[in-house]
């Protein structure tokens, strides 16, 4: 038997032995109920839950239930109706002090008169000021109800798509409810994010038990995961950032990315792949491109367009020399320097495809 279960069984057994002076079916009359009475009736099960709640409401309790008492009773099967009855008894048992009327705390002493000496004016002595009565202490805060594991979580904005570096079109909303389905207001929620940015890492639920997450997607395209922690519950929401607008063009020869200067071997046709890149470095599809060279006798453009994978350019080096190569696509232009090598063994940055 696990240690925690054994300790729980021992605690319940001791409580049952402590209340053994009254038989399980014996009526408790109108006396205030003890904790052992509640434990016995919940364990034996001879009285329905609603009847037990009504009995607590009528007779009240001989003790002030603590958080530990409530946890013990819940583990034995106490439901929401019984817990509310316990709270009602605690409020009725709290001492109340009537607010004293103005000046009622200290009776005002009568004015005193002093017989004036002959030839002097009469003087009246006023009473000292009376201090205001101290305010009555505030009543103790009721224990927090347990949270619902099914009704607490993200309820709006999950799964939506948006560009990196922007906020989602719909707000990401998180709600907190207790086991009775009631919204929990003023509950603190701690937030965390992967691949995103939060405006605040902690928020508090409003009167409807909800709060909105201030979120910016990205910077990487793929998935943004937001985590919300409230008490012992952890919930996650996934959103999908997509690449932003193209800010530059990128050329690739096979698996090799190309810089501003490209060298070719003579009479070796080459195919380029052209993609875009957003402000965060994410690849962006460029469906069509155009290309031109400064000297067609040195480097000739055989084809410029696109396919299902994006922009594509095919060129053929005609004779040794240097010229310009211009690529245009998605509203952007890239200017490169193309060098056709005389010596085939000198090594080119973009070799003939296999």
Q: Tell me, letter by letter, the H, E, C secondary structure of 323-352.
A: EEEEEEECCEEEEEEEEEECCHHHCCCCCC
Predicted local distance difference test score (pLDDT) of residue 64 = 84
| pLDDT tens-digit map of 105-163 | 555 655 555 555 555 555 555 566 666 666 555 445 568 899 999 999 999 999 999 99
Note whether 324 and 338 are within 8 A (CB).
Answer: yes
Fold of the CATH domain 153-242 = Immunoglobulin-like (2.60.40)
Please report where in the chains the tokens 């470095």 appear, as a residue. Answer: 281
Which of these ranges, 171-175, 254-258, 272-276, has the smallest mean pLDDT?
Answer: 254-258
Beta-bridge partner residues of 334:
327
Predicted local distance difference test score (pLDDT) of residue 348 = 74
Residue percentage of the chain with pLDDT more than 90: 50
Predicted local distance difference test score (pLDDT) of residue 121 = 52
Q: How many CB atoms lie within 10 A of CB 151?
A: 18
Residue 173 above 90 pLDDT?
yes
What is the SS3 assignment for 302?
A: strand
Spell out the residues 6+ positions from residue 227 whose beta carbon is closer than 8 angstroms to its own: 191, 192, 193, 194, 234, 235, 236
Predicted local distance difference test score (pLDDT) of residue 15 = 44
Q: How many CB atoms lie within 10 A of CB 204?
A: 11
Token digits for 38? 């509640």
Entry field: residues in the chain: 354
| pLDDT tens-digit map of 42-70 | 887 777 778 888 888 888 888 888 888 88
Predicted local distance difference test score (pLDDT) of residue 24 = 40
Q: Provide the strand spans (E) within 30-94.
A: none
Residue 300 above 70 pLDDT?
yes
Token digits for 103? 């000046």
Residue 100 above 80 pLDDT?
no
Q: Check if 153-242 and 248-346 are the same fold.
A: yes
d(CA 99, CA 75) in angstroms, rounded, equals 41
Predicted local distance difference test score (pLDDT) of residue 140 = 52
Pairs from 118-125 (Cβ < 8 Å, separation ≥ 24): none
Which residue would you say has higher pLDDT here, 30 or 85?
Answer: 85
What is the SS3 assignment for 1?
A: coil
Note whether 174 and 228 are within 8 A (CB).
Answer: yes
Spell out the residues 6+ positions from residue 34 whose beta carbon is closer than 8 angstroms to its own: 19, 61, 62, 63
Residue 36 above 70 pLDDT?
yes
Predicted local distance difference test score (pLDDT) of residue 106 = 53
Please report where in the chains the tokens 């193309």 appear, as a residue. Answer: 338
Residue 199 above 70 pLDDT?
yes
CA of 291: how far to CAs of 209, 276, 305, in Å?
A: 59, 15, 9
Note whether 199 and 214 are within 8 A (CB).
Answer: yes
Predicted local distance difference test score (pLDDT) of residue 74 = 84
The structural domains of the chain, with segments of one domain joined by +, span: 7-93, 153-242, 248-346
Q: What is the mean pLDDT of the chain?
A: 82
d(CA 246, CA 243) in angstroms, rounded, equals 8
Helix (H) or strand (E) holding 273, with range, is strand 270-277
Predicted local distance difference test score (pLDDT) of residue 342 = 84
What would you measure as the largest C-alpha separation in the chain, in angstroms?
138
Pairs from 8-14 (Cβ < 8 Å, separation ≥ 24): 8/75, 11/72, 12/39, 12/43, 12/76
Helix (H) or strand (E) holding 125, with range, is strand 124-125
Residue 98 Ramachandran class (φ > 0 left, ψ -120 to 50 alpha, else beta) = beta
CA-based end-to-end distance of the chain: 69
Which residue would you say has higher pLDDT here, 26 or 285?
Answer: 285
DSSP state of 109: P
Predicted local distance difference test score (pLDDT) of residue 28 = 46
Mean pLDDT of 90-101: 60
Stated pTM of the model: 0.56
Please report where in the chains the tokens 């719909």 appear, as a residue. Answer: 170
Predicted local distance difference test score (pLDDT) of residue 108 = 61
Considering the domain 248-346 in this protein, what is its CATH number? 2.60.40.1080
Note whether 39 and 82 are within 8 A (CB).
Answer: no
């Amino acid at each position: 038997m696990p240690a925690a279960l054994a300790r729980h069984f021992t605690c319940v057994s001791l409580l049952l032995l402590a209340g053994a002076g009254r038989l399980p079916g014996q009526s408790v009359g109108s006396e205030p109920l003890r904790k052992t009475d509640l434990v016995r009736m919940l364990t034996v099960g001879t009285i329905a839950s609603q009847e037990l709640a009504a009995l607590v409401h009528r007779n009240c309790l001989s003790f002030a239930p603590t958080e530990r008492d409530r946890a013990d009773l819940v583990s034995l099967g106490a439901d929401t109706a019984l817990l509310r009855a316990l709270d009602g008894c605690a409020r009725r048992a709290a001492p109340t002090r009537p607010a004293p009327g103005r000046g009622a705390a200290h009776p005002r002493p009568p004015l005193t008169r002093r017989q004036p000496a002959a030839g002097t004016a009469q003087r009246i002595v006023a009473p000292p000021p009376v201090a205001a009565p101290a305010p009555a202490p505030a009543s103790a805060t009721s224990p927090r109800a347990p949270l619902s594991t099914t009704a607490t979580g993200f309820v709006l904005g999950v799964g939506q798509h948006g560009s990196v570096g922007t906020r989602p079109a719909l707000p990401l909303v998180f709600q907190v409810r207790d086991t009775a389905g009631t919204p929990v207001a003023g509950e603190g929620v701690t937030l965390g994010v992967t691949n995103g940015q939060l405006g605040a890492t902690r928020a508090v639920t409003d009167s409807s038990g909800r709060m909105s997450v201030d979120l910016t997607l990205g910077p990487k395209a793929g998935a943004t995961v937001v985590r919300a922690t409230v008490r012992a519950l952890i919930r996650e929401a996934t959103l999908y950032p997509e690449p932003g607008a193209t800010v530059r063009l990128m050329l690739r020869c096979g698996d090799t990315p190309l810089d501003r200067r490209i060298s070719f071997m003579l009479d070796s046709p080459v195919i380029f792949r052209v993609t875009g890149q957003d402000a965060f470095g994410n690849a962006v599809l460029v469906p069509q491109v155009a290309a031109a060279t400064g000297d067609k006798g040195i480097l000739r453009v055989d084809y410029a367009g696109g396919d299902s994978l994006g922009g594509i350019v095919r060129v053929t080096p005609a004779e040794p020399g240097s010229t310009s190569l211009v690529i245009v696509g998605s509203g952007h232009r890239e200017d490169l320097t193309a060098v056709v090598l005389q010596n085939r063994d000198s090594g080119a940055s973009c070799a003939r495809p296999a």
